[in-house]
Structure 1
Amino acid sequence: MTASLLVVSCAVLAARGVGFDLGSMLLCLTCGCGLVMLAQIYRFCERDKRLAHVLMAVGLFILFTLAGATFNYVFLPNPLAPIDPLLIRIDAALGYDWATFVTATARHPWLGIALNIVYGTSLVQLIFIHAWWAFSDRIERLHHLMLTGMTAALLSIIFWACFPSFGAKAYATLPDWVEASIPLAVTPAYGRELLRLAAEGPSIINPREMMGLIAFPSFHIVMACLAVVFAPRWWPARATLYALNLVMLPATLAQGGHHLVDIAGGMAVFALAYFVARSVLRRVTAVTAESPILAARWV
């Protein structure tokens, strides 16, 4: 599925005249495919099965991240009207304003710096959790984690394609001293660039410079839910992940430039993806239980 998604996305973008930074694309592909191939070698040689699972899981995670981001760009330019004005009105009714919230964190620079650091840990957390369950040889747990993440990503992209949103940062302004006081993962200038991309589309695809297009539902919250629900049972790791992702809630708002309702959207998408993935895996398990050959291929 990952390979098909990437190939089709690249073909569609190329047909539209979009260029590719081949060096960056090949680097990502080499890392992901290299890990997958190394995993297959370990399995074939019947050496360390757990290490093979780790290499396969991390390699597929890298490849799907590239494929998903590229697939998202297929929907650019997006001529549909953004739903941000509606989300801004809902935020206002709830008493939330992104610029006011960020300005408040900037008055305590240590807080702004802490939120920035936590916001940047999402991918590292997920790679760690994938590696943990793979090395623990809990393949059913690993499959559930991976399929939930993939399903949530596709659901988020399809929803965004129909109901685009770019976050509060695209419609707000911040005092100059705020951006000078704390590091921000996204700024109003970043938001305006998203609006430009939505109107004009990309000219080149470069994995190092691809932007996070989706505001609602927040995929950072999806990743936080993945980290919490699939946290290892070893209590030091679980406690650390719980603490990080509790802080991830305000970090996503401040550093991700999100509407308040984006948080609820991310949680809803995760819940739907979790139960869809569980249902699919139960069906697969039932089928493979009747066939030793399929069962061997599944693991």
Structure 2
Amino acid sequence: MTNRVSKVLTGIALLTAVIAALGIAGAHAAGITLALGNAVSLAGLAACAVIAVAAVLIALSHTQRYRERTHAWRLREAALAMLCIVAIAALSQAVVILDYLCVALAPLSIETDLVRFDALLGFHWLDLYRWVSAHAELHRVLEFAYRSSIVQLIAVPFILATTRRHDDLAEFITLFAFALLVAVLVSTPFPAQSAFVHFGITDPHTASTVSHYDLLRSGQLRQFNLSESQGLVSLPSFHVMLALLLAYAVRHVRHVFPAAVVLNAAMIVSTPTQGGHYLADVIAGVGFGVLSIVVVRRWMAGPRTAATTGPRATHPT
């Protein structure tokens, strides 16, 4: 494992612990009961198993007898990717608790302002939703693109690790953490009800996926099951931010980058109709996604420059 990635993973682990502690304490103070649920419990056990497997692979890579074979098969890199995926999943769960507490603060909801802003740009969400729904093939393509985010979050660490783009991998994990926190911090003072709910859309996988929003704001949701968590951030769209980060992360992997650009461009296009986002959410997602890349890139430029003066840890694809 490269020193830089190990430092990033250590930092993410500490950040996750701090956010989880704050979230648990905040939930207790607010009188909200937290439960893991079966899905999260199983995911936790799976994460422990993955960490154990990764530890074995790393240990083998340092054993003289297996060093050449593990290097050729890139088993150490696979272990690194596993640890990064666990870090992403753990941080996401911790931030979910924080996000729910922020929604429960219930500042003035701004969805009416977002609809008005969209109209000024000539965009009418309901018209677009009806048009996409009337074109079944297009709807399936957009749904596939929207749901691809989970698969990409697993694939990108493996791609970057196995191609030994360790600097890019460290940057991607840092970007993910930064963007996730930015999305929650921005949405807290500017919450918005999903377009699905605002426009009365009750199709499967629409309003039902954001039903906790009003329950939290009204104080009716007093028990929160992590296995049933929902994405309640409207502005900025984290899906749009993530699409930019995923494409940016593989920019140096020439055979993957073009496909990533196409897929994530489709993800951005799918966000209004598949995620119930306003056009304003998409625009904000692009803005804050680019901002996240600029900030993290500049922040990590110093360590990266310093690293180039020592032995190279990465190899060209």
Give the equivalent residue in structure 1 for 2:66.
none
Kept in 2, the 8 Å contact 1:132–1:232? The answer is no
Give the equivalent residue in structure 2 for 1:252.
271
Letter in 1 for 2:229: M
**Pair 1:211 & 2:257 matched:** no
Distance 1:209 1:107 in 2: 30
Query: For 1:43-95, what per-residue CA distance to the aligned partner results, in whole angstroms no more than 9, with x for missing partners?
Result: 23425321221221122122122122222122241220012121111011112
Distance 2:105 2:245 in 1: 29
Equivalence map 1:112-131=2 (5 Å): 112-131=139-158
Kept in 2, the 8 Å contact 1:32–1:58? The answer is no
Q: Give RMSD over aligned pairs.
A: 2.6
Give the equivalent residue in structure 2 for 1:282.
301
Distance 1:236 1:291 in 2: 29
Give the equivalent residue in structure 2 for 1:54.
81
Residue 122 of structure 1: how far off its partner (Å):
0.9
Equivalence map 1:1-299=2 (5 Å): 1-15=15-29, 16-45=31-60, 46=62, 47=70, 48-174=75-201, 179=203, 185-187=205-207, 189-191=208-210, 193-200=212-219, 202-231=221-250, 233-285=252-304
Letter in 1 for 2:174: L
Query: Judging changes above 3 Å, is the alpha-carbon distance between structure 1 residues 281 and 40 closer, same or farther for their aligned structure 2 residues?
Result: farther
Structure 2 spans left out of the alignment, 5+ residues: 1-14, 63-69
Query: For 1:142-161, what per-residue CA distance to the aligned partner results, in whole angstroms no more than 9, with x for missing partners?
Result: 01111111101001101111
Give the equivalent residue in structure 1 for 2:10.
none
Query: Judging changes above 3 Å, is the alpha-carbon distance between structure 1 residues 210 and 192 closer, same or farther for their aligned structure 2 residues?
Result: closer
Letter in 2 for 1:81: L
Residue 118 of structure 1: how far off its partner (Å):
1.7
Query: Judging changes above 3 Å, is the alpha-carbon distance between structure 1 residues 287 and 38 closer, same or farther for their aligned structure 2 residues?
Result: farther
Query: Judging changes above 3 Å, is the alpha-carbon distance between structure 1 residues 201 and 208 closer, same or farther for their aligned structure 2 residues?
Result: same
Query: For 1:113-163, what per-residue CA distance to the aligned partner results, in whole angstroms no more than 9, with x for missing partners?
Result: 221222111111122111111122221100111111110100110111121
Query: Judging changes above 3 Å, is the alpha-carbon distance between structure 1 residues 191 and 89 closer, same or farther for their aligned structure 2 residues?
Result: farther
Q: Secondary structure, in 3 states, of the residue corresponding to 2:272?
A: helix
Q: How many residues align?
A: 285
Structure 1 spans left out of the alignment, 5+ residues: none
Kept in 1, the 8 Å contact 2:212–2:230? The answer is no
Distance 2:88 2:212 in 1: 27
Kept in 2, the 8 Å contact 1:21–1:204? The answer is no
Distance 1:201 1:288 in 2: 52
Distance 1:109 1:288 in 2: 51
Letter in 2 for 1:6: A
Distance 1:41 1:201 in 2: 46
Letter in 2 for 1:186: T
- 36-45 or 165-174, larger mean C-alpha shift: 36-45
Distance 2:240 2:36 in 1: 29
Distance 1:159 1:192 in 2: 21
Letter in 1 for 2:39: S
Distance 1:20 1:291 in 2: 47
Letter in 1 for 2:277: H
Letter in 2 for 1:36: I
Residue 232 of structure 1: how far off its partner (Å):
5.4
Distance 1:263 1:254 in 2: 11
- 19-28 or 129-138, larger mean C-alpha shift: 19-28
Distance 1:257 1:213 in 2: 10
Distance 1:71 1:240 in 2: 34
Q: Percent identity?
A: 22
Q: Secondary structure, in 3 states, of the residue corresponding to 2:227?
A: coil
Q: TM-score of the superposition, structure 2-length normalised?
A: 0.80
Distance 1:122 1:215 in 2: 17
Q: Secondary structure, in 3 states, of the residue corresponding to 1:74?
A: helix
Query: Judging changes above 3 Å, is the alpha-carbon distance between structure 1 residues 141 and 168 closer, same or farther for their aligned structure 2 residues?
Result: same
- 107-116 or 225-234, larger mean C-alpha shift: 225-234
Distance 1:185 1:226 in 2: 25
Kept in 2, the 8 Å contact 1:96–1:260? The answer is yes
Kept in 2, the 8 Å contact 1:231–1:237? The answer is yes
Residue 3 of structure 1: how far off its partner (Å):
2.3
